[in-house]
């Protein structure tokens, strides 16, 4: 719960609050679970404040300092935060920011363009989660998803050959030899396989998206953002976004092509329902006419889920500029220390060799 005295000072006015913060720089304001909905907080110094679970719905935070603030579980829905400093701020998957104004929403946090700062998802996920900041794991999940999705596309491509070329049968290799399929039996088998494959694709993309939420540095953002796959690649250009959405739709919903083989289209257009039903019931699989609708409903739901996940990747993976500068500074210090140590070691080796030569 929030400290009542801290909450009263803030609600009394921003000027008095900022003076109090200047006089007590070491004190960390406790505004945990405070109700600040609609409160005027323009220019408020909320750096390093504990706002865990705070309600900031439609709060006016323009120009406020939220650097280092704990915003986990906070509700920032509709809040106005243009010009806010978000550096080192932390959010989590429970933080809400629907309709927030003045910032960009990314996969792993929120970003303020005016101050080039970002509040990112806290690095340590819940104890019952296996997620974490691992760009290599995210890319590996995307790589597996891409391979499986490509195989599903190949199955749909063979179905397209049946439609265009209209061969009576097609021979597919397997471990012990080969097997001949007619168009009907192939479409049924491909539908079953696509349902299984696309469910795995959904699982890997979901794992990649969940992992991307914990990324927090430039290298990781570049590694995942540049992964060469349309379903996970962000498009910033408006025209590119529209084109990407259309292409992603067709790439994801490609298993719908198999419906072509189970419908007698000329009878359907002519309203001959008896012929339509008879054509469908000629399924060369026992109980296939009952199994197929269930599989297709599952397949469509899986495709819709994948499309939603691909939309999740149409947001940037963020990093905080200030944190990156400090990180580079730390690396430079490490490099300098390593270089000094190497020089000292070289000098020591030189002295030992001179002593050996004299001896």
pLDDT at 280 over 90: no
- Both 202 and 89 in a single domain? no
Residue 197 resides in a domain: yes
- Both 292 and 176 in a single domain? yes
- Both 218 and 308 in a single domain? yes
pLDDT at 330 over 60: no
Q: What is the mean pLDDT of residues 11-38?
A: 93
- Both 171 and 258 in a single domain? yes
Residues 6+ apart with CB under 8 A from 166: 183
Strand partners, 50: 30, 70
Residue 147 resides in a domain: yes
- Both 73 and 198 in a single domain? no
Q: pLDDT-based confidence at 324, cuts 50/70/90?
A: confident
CA 125 to chain centre: 15
pLDDT at 268: 73
In contact, 258 and 193? CB cutoff 8 Å: no
Q: pLDDT-based confidence at 237, cuts 50/70/90?
A: confident
pLDDT at 35: 94
pLDDT at 153: 96
CA separation for the pair 99, 37 (Å, rounded): 14
The residue range of the domain holding 255 is 135-312
pLDDT at 207 over 80: yes
Bigger pLDDT: 313 vs 334? 313
Sign of the Cα pseudo-torsion (235, 236, 240, 245, in order) = positive
Q: What is the mean pLDDT of residues 22-48?
A: 93
Residue 335 resides in a domain: no
Residue 303 resides in a domain: yes
Q: What is the mean pLDDT of residues 268-274?
A: 77
Distances from the Cα of 318 to the Cα of 73, 121, 217, angstroms: 19, 10, 8
Bigger pLDDT: 297 vs 351? 297
Mean pLDDT of the chain: 87
Residue 48 resides in a domain: yes
Please write the tens of the pLDDT for every residue from 78-134. 999 999 999 999 999 899 999 999 999 999 999 999 999 999 998 665 555 556 678
Residue 232 resides in a domain: yes
pLDDT at 230: 93
Please write the tens of the pLDDT for every residue from 296-317. 999 999 999 999 999 999 999 9
Q: Given the DSSP bridges, would you call strands 104-105 and 170-174 parallel, antiparallel or unpaired? A: unpaired
- Both 91 and 139 in a single domain? no
CA separation for the pair 299, 97 (Å, rounded): 32
Question: Cα angle vertex 313, ends 79, 86, to 5°?
Answer: 35
pLDDT at 171 over 90: no
Q: pLDDT-based confidence at 59, cuts 50/70/90?
A: very high
pLDDT at 356: 73
Last-in-domain residue among 122, 149, 174: 122
**Per the structure, how many domains does the chain have?**
2
- Most confident of the following: 73-77, 262-266, 282-286: 73-77
DSSP 142-162: HHHHHHHHHHHHHHHHHHHHH
- Both 78 and 106 in a single domain? yes
In contact, 86 and 66? CB cutoff 8 Å: yes
Alpha helices in the chain (DSSP H): 4-12, 14-23, 135-165, 183-212, 218-225, 238-252, 259-262, 265-270, 273-281, 288-312, 321-358
Q: What is the mean pLDDT of residues 214-226?
A: 90
Q: pLDDT-based confidence at 334, cuts 50/70/90?
A: low
pLDDT at 125: 59
pLDDT at 335: 60
- Both 177 and 106 in a single domain? no
Q: What one-character DSSP code corresponds to residue 29?
A: -
Nearest to 252 by CA among 335, 328, 170, 313: 313
Query: What percent of the chain has a predicted confidence (pLDDT) above 70?
Result: 89
Residue 322 resides in a domain: no
pLDDT at 137: 92
Q: What is the mean pLDDT of residues 15-21?
A: 94
- Both 292 and 235 in a single domain? yes
Last-in-domain residue among 122, 153, 185: 122
CA separation for the pair 221, 215 (Å, rounded): 7
- Both 189 and 263 in a single domain? yes
CA separation for the pair 170, 179 (Å, rounded): 8
- Both 213 and 71 in a single domain? no
Q: What is the mean pLDDT of residues 227-234?
A: 92
- Both 160 and 254 in a single domain? yes
Residue 205 resides in a domain: yes
Q: What is the mean pLDDT of residues 272-287?
A: 71
Token pair belonging to 238: 């408006």
pLDDT at 340: 72
Please write the tens of the pLDDT for every residue from 177-199. 667 778 888 888 899 999 999 99
């Amino acid at each position: 719960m929030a400290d009542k005295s801290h909450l009263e000072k803030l609600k009394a006015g921003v000027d008095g609050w900022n003076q109090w913060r200047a006089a007590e720089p070491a004190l960390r304001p406790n505004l945990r679970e405070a109700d600040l909905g609609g409160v005027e907080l323009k220019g408020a110094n909320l750096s390093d404040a504990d706002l865990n679970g705070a309600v900031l719905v439609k709060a006016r935070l323009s120009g406020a300092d939220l650097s280092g603030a704990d915003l986990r579980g906070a509700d920032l829905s509709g809040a106005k935060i243009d010009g806010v400093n978000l550096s080192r701020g932390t959010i989590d998957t429970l933080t809400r920011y629907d309709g927030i104004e003045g910032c960009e929403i990314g996969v792993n946090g929120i970003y303020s363009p005016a101050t080039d700062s970002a509040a990112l998802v806290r690095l340590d996920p819940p104890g019952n989660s296996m997620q974490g900041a691992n760009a290599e794991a995210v890319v590996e999940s995307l790589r597996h998803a891409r391979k499986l999705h490509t195989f599903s596309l190949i199955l749909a491509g063979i179905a397209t050959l049946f439609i265009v070329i209209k061969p009576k049968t097609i021979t597919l290799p397997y471990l012990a030899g080969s097997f001949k399929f007619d168009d009907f039996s192939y479409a049924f088998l491909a539908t079953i396989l696509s349902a299984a494959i696309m469910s795995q694709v959904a699982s890997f993309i979901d794992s990649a998206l969940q992992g991307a939420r914990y990324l927090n540095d430039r290298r990781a953002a570049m590694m995942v953002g540049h992964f060469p796959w349309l379903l996970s690649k962000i498009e910033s250009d408006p025209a590119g976004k529209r084109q990407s959405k259309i292409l992603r739709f067709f790439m994801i919903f490609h298993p719908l092509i198999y419906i072509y083989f189970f419908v007698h289209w000329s009878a359907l257009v002519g309203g001959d329902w008896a012929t339509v039903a008879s054509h469908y019931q000629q399924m060369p699989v026992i109980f296939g006419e009952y199994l197929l609708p269930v599989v297709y409903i599952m397949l469509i739901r899986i495709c819709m889920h994948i499309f939603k996940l691909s939309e999740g990747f149409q947001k940037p993976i963020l990093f905080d500029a200030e944190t990156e500068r400090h990180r580079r500074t730390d690396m430079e210090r490490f490099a300098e220390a390593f270089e000094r140590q190497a020089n000292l070691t070289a000098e020591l080796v030189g002295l030992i060799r001179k002593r050996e030569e004299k001896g």
